[in-house]
Amino acid sequence: MRTQRFSDFFYCAGLPELPGLPATSFPLSLDREELPLGARVLGPWLEDHTPVAFARLLEEASGGFRAPPGYGSGA
């Protein structure tokens, strides 16, 4: 396993907000340790509905949200 500094995660996470692009995060699946994996999609300027619609379609295609064991149904 590779070690990373916690602050490294904020470098890419904050870039879309600088120019004001809409961004949506969504769940994809669980990893080998049954922890949630997600992704983030960016949309064009002033098109907030585009990344939300894309995230909804990709989540449906991947089977929807599944909570990790011990965390309830996610509802």
What is the Cα–Cα distance from 9 to 22, expressed in whole angstroms? 19
What is the Cα–Cα distance from 17 to 25, expressed in whole angstroms? 13
Residue 14 has pLDDT above 80, yes or no: no
Question: Residue 60: its pLDDT value, please?
Answer: 83
Structure-model confidence comparison of residues 12 and 26, the more confident one: 26
Residue 29 has pLDDT above 60, yes or no: yes
pLDDT digits (tens, 9 = 90+) for 31-46: 888 888 888 888 999 9
Residue 10 has pLDDT above 70, yes or no: no
Contact 15, 9 (CB under 8 A): no
Q: Which helix (H) or strand (E) holds 23?
A: strand 23-30
pLDDT (average), residues 44-50: 92
